[in-house]
Structure 1
């Protein structure tokens, strides 16, 4: 396979990942604008670092790790600057189809708010495994923790979510 074909395939696969990357970014950032910025920064970094990706390995896990590291860097930078961003969720529903079931949207909002209240480590585990569908081993590699640690975080996260949603006392 020549370099041009390999580059084209890389770009196609990266483009196909965009919906999943945006969802993961939203889980990390908890804010739509920050999530969009994070997604863009991640794609830029992936394109610049294309040569460091090993052909034949999972592109999604590689890009998710880039996104997670990018987010950690952003949180650290914000902390150093001592700035707090508290954006209103203005326009969050702009452009959504009007035929969606309102009850489902309310419930989805409840889940999103409950997810946002989880500690960062639990939210990360829940989003990677339950939302993005990564295997425990893959999610642990993305986060950079042992599989047992991920399993513990996921269990605590599930329980906290159920408690937040009123499913358990």
Structure 2
């Protein structure tokens, strides 16, 4: 991926296409876990790639292209939060919360488990959630997650370990006694 980024930096349109295709899903998953608005994920991923392609001439390959791109994604999400905070949107419906709930997908396989997972992840402190998502859901190596999160690798390892412990504790509190063996198997994976 880094080779494609460097080739794209040199003006190779095929390398640009490979670079975007190879990292698009990772960017979308990372952005989805950073922002709370599922409808904004595609826009934020597109914004990430626009920013990256616009500054590709400055990419020198000192870090992996994935870590570089995910750090851009992180800044895109932060900028979107700042923009939204400065310009709140008005809803032209009597009960905007009901309208949002009705717009959410329902009856999809695994949807309820996904909602539970998002709720559990939301209960984690921001830094731990980010480290957990980068390493466990996006699949980044700890070094790349450290570069994307702008912190030392030991900090990422500590945050992931603490996030796992918190999630296991939360799941233990919510499960039936018979489900404890399944939970232990999941925690060991």
Unaligned runs of 5+ in 1: none
May I ask how many residue pairs the two structures share in their alignment?
161
Partner of 1:107: 113
- 1:49 paired with 2:61, answer no
Q: Distance in 1 between matches of 2:21 and 2:87?
A: 34
- Equivalent position of 1:123 in the other structure: 129
| Distance change (3 Å), C-alpha of 1:167 and 1:84 | farther
Looking at structure 2, the residues matched to 89 and 64 of structure 1 have their Cα atoms a distance apart, in angstroms, of 30
Distance in 2 between residues matched to 1:164 and 1:39, nearest whole Å: 31
1:19 pairs with one of 22, 25, 30? 25
Pick the structure with more helix per residue. 2
Residues 1:59 and 2:71 aligned together = no
Q: Deviations over 1:22-81 (max 9, x none)?
A: 1111100022023222212111101211212235963211110101122223334444x2
Q: Which of the pair has more CA radius of gyration?
A: 2
Q: Give the unaligned 5+ runs of structure 2.
A: 1-6, 91-95, 176-189
Q: Is the 8 A contact 1:129 1:136 kept in 2?
A: yes
Distance 1:45 1:134, change over 3 A: same
Give TM-score scaled by structure 2 length. 0.71
- Higher RCO, 1 or 2 (CA under 8 Å, sep at least 6)? 1
The 1:113–1:10 alpha-carbon spacing in structure 2 relative to 1, beyond 3 Å, is: same
CA contact (8 A) 1:24 1:127 kept: yes
